[in-house]
A and B are shown apart, each in its own frame.
Chain A
Amino acid sequence: MRGPLVWIAVVAVGIVALIGIGAVLSDDESGETVSAGEWAESVCGAVGVWRGELEATVEDIRTPNAAAGSEEPQSETPQGRTGFIRVGLERAVLATETMVEGVDNAGTPDVTDGQQVADAVASWADSARDDLEDAQDSLDEEAESLEEAVEQVTEALGAIGAVLASGTQTLAEVARTEPALVAVFRDTSTCQQLQEETD
């Protein structure tokens, strides 16, 4: 048997190794100019992950009991329902902040209007976060009736749907303004996946 200090040291070395590997793997390219393919890969990846999270959130808001994994009766009261929507929107905002981080980290594509393209996508990502935060703020008042709660659900789902649609639109507009990106979007695997999911 070895003393506990030896094992603590072994574990510590392992954790340091993991941290070192993390440092090598993390790839912050914010502010840097990268190849258009690399930029598209990162942006479509971030948007694709975000889209999946928002769709899961929409599902959770629509079927709160399934999401909670329990038959919590309070979730069916107007107040409970509002609380559930708020949690869903908080998650949507968190997911959007992560997506904004991903878009920022993607850098600037090395195409003619690269900076403009990066700014357009970043601007959309920021506005998506603001829109969802506004939707979240509108839930500060508890629903007084079931009808009001239903209205809040509809508005919350509408807000999420709107930012999802505007994301697809932004990427399409970016491709229109910068023709060099059309082929890149078409040939990049994450963009292909995103396109398939959107269709």
Chain B
Amino acid sequence: MSTMDWVLVAVQGLVVIAFIALGVRSGGIGLGLWGGVGTLVLVFLFGLDPGEPPISAILIIIAVISAAAAMQAAGGIDYMVKIASNALRARPKALNFVAPYISYVLTILTGTSNTFFSIIPVINEVAYANKIRPERALASSTVANALGITSSPVAAAMATMLPLVEIYNYDLVDVMLITIPASIVGIFAMSLVMSRYGKELDDDPEYQRRLAAGEIKPPAPAADVVLLPHAKRSVAIFLAGVLAICVFGFFEGIRPTVAAEGGGVEPMSVTPLIQMIMLTAAALIVLLCHVKAGDIPGTQIFKSGMVAMIALFGIAWMADTFIANNEDAIVQALGSMAESWPFMIAVAIFLVAALTTSQSAATRTMVPLGLALGIGAGYMIAMWTAVVGVLLLPANGTQIAAAEADETGTTTLGKRVIDHSFQLPLQICWVVTALVGIVIVWLFFGDQTPAPPVPAAP
């Protein structure tokens, strides 16, 4: 690439960042609208081919939000909040630790971070009902959810990773023995920090402003909540849907089969299954819990979900337009950095994931480079967890949905692109996870490959 090409890539990158900044300042659907403008500028002014809008993620949000909103209309959210509040009565702050691990396990079981959309409203409501700053639990859970990808046997990134390390005698179990304990410690460290981060809700000026302006109602004490007659049933249906997704996600063999590209059949992907199951859950809640379909769009969950969907549409489309046209240049630049300074490999993995917003792309491009630079396969697995860097910029669906769900205003996408609520938990989590992973490899794996034989004397 010529210098001029590099300058053009840099200018396009700045345009993307500028429009993200405009979007996060506008807030709400403004993020999506400015993302759309950014896409237009990239296509018309710079002549880039338009990227792919995040159709699958949008459809999942629609399905999940339909089910969650139906559950809210049936009073199910109130019931879940009541149950969770009772369970957490002695130690409400335990939510800051429990919620991230639940989101992490959901990703491990399904291999996709999209299942997290289903529990965002629940985490938010439980936090608010217990007067816990929602940012703490929501931001940690979003990061833990993304981290789950490197621990999941059914994730696409894992499928990309395994062939790269198998030649060094590391199989799926070895990878999980490194990433899962490391992630558990990383999530704990992050949750510990986040449980003390930010002002208490009662002292938060933005929350107080919203409260004073009547934009948000004060949390009702759990004891005062009057449950609707079919609240429990709606929760049972919703949770059964989530459980079904986990079971289908984890056991490929029980999924329906579809025609494979190369002939034969293969298990259906999890994405359409999530959509089908969640829409079915919504329909069953309407049918069996006597919810009027017309009441669902009036719920708070539905409104915030639709805002998140529009925000994601524009911003992710713009990001994909930039990335699809410049991925090779980004990888080449960061690859060169790692070649010149091999010690920067973990940071390079993090940045490639951030700039391509793809954990699989970061795995495919940077792990082989690290191995070629002489870094042991076990240590590369430990540092591979840095692909959680996809959350560096606030252009990810789960980040947008979490920020939109939090009516208190504590969970934000920031004002300067990188100063969002997810940044601190992200940084703590990836650094601690990678370091713990390295220690695990050092202690328990060492040099996995047998010692090379001494050659016969010539």
- A: residues with CB less than 8 A from B are 1-2, 4, 7, 10-11, 14-15, 17-23, 25-29, 35-38, 40-42, 44-46, 48-50, 52-53, 56, 59, 62-63, 65-66, 70, 72, 90-91, 94-95, 98-99, 101-102, 105, 109-112, 180-181, 183-184, 187-190, 193-194, 197
* Cα distance A23–B452 in the bound complex, in angstroms: 23
* Cα distance A136–B44 in the bound complex, in angstroms: 28
Tell whether, in the assembled complex, residue A1 and residue B368 are in contact, meaning their CB atoms are under 8 Å apart.
no
Q: Is B369 an interface residue (CB 8 A)?
A: yes
> B163 contacts which of A26, A52, A94, A190 (Cβ < 8 Å)?
A52
Question: In whole Å, how far is A75's beta carbon from the nearest beta carbon of chain B?
Answer: 11
Tell whether, in the assembled complex, residue B328 and residue A90 are in contact, meaning their CB atoms are under 8 Å apart.
yes
Contacts of A23 in B (CB 8 A): 342-343
> B343 contacts which of A26, A40, A184, A187 (Cβ < 8 Å)?
A26
Tell whether, in the assembled complex, residue A184 and residue B452 are in contact, meaning their CB atoms are under 8 Å apart.
yes
* Cα distance A168–B313 in the bound complex, in angstroms: 47
Contacts of A188 in B (CB 8 A): 449, 452-453
Question: In whole Å, how far is B419's beta carbon from the nearest beta carbon of chain A?
Answer: 9
Q: Which residue of A lies closest to B167 (CB)?
A: A48
Tell whether, in the assembled complex, residue B372 and residue A183 are in contact, meaning their CB atoms are under 8 Å apart.
no
Which of B224-232, B286-294, B396-404, B428-436 touches A?
B428-436
Tell whether, in the assembled complex, residue B453 and residue A95 are in contact, meaning their CB atoms are under 8 Å apart.
no
**Which of the four size classes fits the interface of chain B?**
35 or more
Tell whether, in the assembled complex, residue B164 and residue A187 are in contact, meaning their CB atoms are under 8 Å apart.
no
Q: Is B7 an interface residue (CB 8 A)?
A: no
Q: Is B346 an interface residue (CB 8 A)?
A: yes
Which of B87-95, B118-126, B211-219, B373-381 touches A?
B373-381
Contacts of B52 in A (CB 8 A): 70, 72
Known: A11-B428, A22-B346, A111-B458. A190 touches B373 (CB 8 A): no
Contacts of A15 in B (CB 8 A): 347, 431
* Cα distance A94–B369 in the bound complex, in angstroms: 10
Tell whether, in the assembled complex, residue A94 and residue B167 are in contact, meaning their CB atoms are under 8 Å apart.
no
Question: In whole Å, how far is B217's beta carbon from the nearest beta carbon of chain A?
Answer: 26
With A22-B344, A28-B373, A56-B163 known, 6 other A-B pairs at CB within 8 A are A17-B435, A20-B343, A21-B435, A48-B167, A105-B374, A188-B452
Contacts of B167 in A (CB 8 A): 44-45, 48-49, 52, 190, 193-194, 197
Q: Which residue of B lies closest to A181 (CB)?
A: B455
Known: A25-B379, A26-B345, A56-B163. A183 touches B453 (CB 8 A): yes
Enumerate B150-186 residues with CB–CB distance to A below 8 Å.
Answer: 163-164, 166-169
> A101 contacts which of B55, B372, B376, B383 (Cβ < 8 Å)?
B372
A-B contact pairs, 21 of them (CB 8 A): A1-B197, A14-B427, A18-B438, A20-B343, A22-B342, A22-B375, A26-B342, A26-B375, A35-B455, A37-B452, A37-B453, A66-B262, A91-B364, A94-B335, A98-B372, A105-B372, A109-B455, A180-B458, A187-B452, A188-B453, A193-B166
Q: Which one of B52, B376, B431 has the highest number of Cβ atoms from chain A below 10 Å of its Cβ?
A: B431
Known: A1-B196, A35-B452. A10 touches B428 (CB 8 A): yes
Contacts of A197 in B (CB 8 A): 167
> Top 6 A-B pairs ranked by shortest CB distance?
A37-B452, A27-B374, A102-B372, A26-B342, A14-B431, A48-B167
Tell whether, in the assembled complex, residue A45 and residue B371 are in contact, meaning their CB atoms are under 8 Å apart.
yes
Question: In whole Å, how far is B9's beta carbon from the nearest beta carbon of chain A?
Answer: 16
Tell whether, in the assembled complex, residue A189 and residue B169 are in contact, meaning their CB atoms are under 8 Å apart.
yes
Contacts of B424 in A (CB 8 A): 4, 7, 11
Tell whether, in the assembled complex, residue A29 and residue B455 are in contact, meaning their CB atoms are under 8 Å apart.
no
* Cα distance A138–B385 in the bound complex, in angstroms: 38
Contacts of B261 in A (CB 8 A): 62-63, 65-66
Question: In whole Å, how far is A95's beta carbon from the nearest beta carbon of chain B?
Answer: 6
Q: Is B456 an interface residue (CB 8 A)?
A: yes
* Cα distance A15–B383 in the bound complex, in angstroms: 12
Q: Which residue of A lies closest to B382 (CB)?
A: A21
* Cα distance A53–B166 in the bound complex, in angstroms: 12
Q: Is B339 an interface residue (CB 8 A)?
A: yes
> A1 contacts which of B199, B343, B428, B431 (Cβ < 8 Å)?
B199
Question: In whole Å, how far is A122's beta carbon from the nearest beta carbon of chain B?
Answer: 13
* Cα distance A18–B453 in the bound complex, in angstroms: 32
Tell whether, in the assembled complex, residue B435 and residue A14 are in contact, meaning their CB atoms are under 8 Å apart.
yes
Question: In whole Å, how far is B309's beta carbon from the nearest beta carbon of chain A?
Answer: 18
Question: In whole Å, how far is A149's beta carbon from the nearest beta carbon of chain B?
Answer: 17
* Cα distance A193–B187 in the bound complex, in angstroms: 35
Tell whether, in the assembled complex, residue B346 and residue A183 are in contact, meaning their CB atoms are under 8 Å apart.
no
* Cα distance A194–B383 in the bound complex, in angstroms: 24
Tell whether, in the assembled complex, residue B199 and residue A41 are in contact, meaning their CB atoms are under 8 Å apart.
no
* Cα distance A7–B450 in the bound complex, in angstroms: 41
Tell whether, in the assembled complex, residue A95 and residue B368 are in contact, meaning their CB atoms are under 8 Å apart.
yes
Question: In whole Å, how far is A87's beta carbon from the nearest beta carbon of chain B?
Answer: 9
Tell whether, in the assembled complex, residue B375 and residue A187 are in contact, meaning their CB atoms are under 8 Å apart.
no
Tell whether, in the assembled complex, residue B343 and residue A63 are in contact, meaning their CB atoms are under 8 Å apart.
no
Contacts of B332 in A (CB 8 A): 94
Q: Is B223 an interface residue (CB 8 A)?
A: no
Contacts of B431 in A (CB 8 A): 11, 14-15, 17-18
* Cα distance A53–B328 in the bound complex, in angstroms: 16
Tell whether, in the assembled complex, residue B455 and residue A1 are in contact, meaning their CB atoms are under 8 Å apart.
no
Q: Which residue of B lies closest to A74 (CB)?
A: B49
> B372 contacts which of A29, A99, A112, A190 (Cβ < 8 Å)?
A99
Contacts of B453 in A (CB 8 A): 37, 183-184, 187-188
* Cα distance A1–B192 in the bound complex, in angstroms: 11
Tell whether, in the assembled complex, residue A26 and residue B196 are in contact, meaning their CB atoms are under 8 Å apart.
no
Tell whether, in the assembled complex, residue B450 and residue A189 are in contact, meaning their CB atoms are under 8 Å apart.
yes
Known: A1-B196, A11-B428, A15-B431. A25 touches B368 (CB 8 A): no
Contacts of A4 in B (CB 8 A): 424
* Cα distance A95–B164 in the bound complex, in angstroms: 11
Contacts of B199 in A (CB 8 A): 1
* Cα distance A26–B427 in the bound complex, in angstroms: 23
Q: Is B454 an interface residue (CB 8 A)?
A: yes
Tell whether, in the assembled complex, residue B456 and residue A18 are in contact, meaning their CB atoms are under 8 Å apart.
no
Contacts of A66 in B (CB 8 A): 260-262
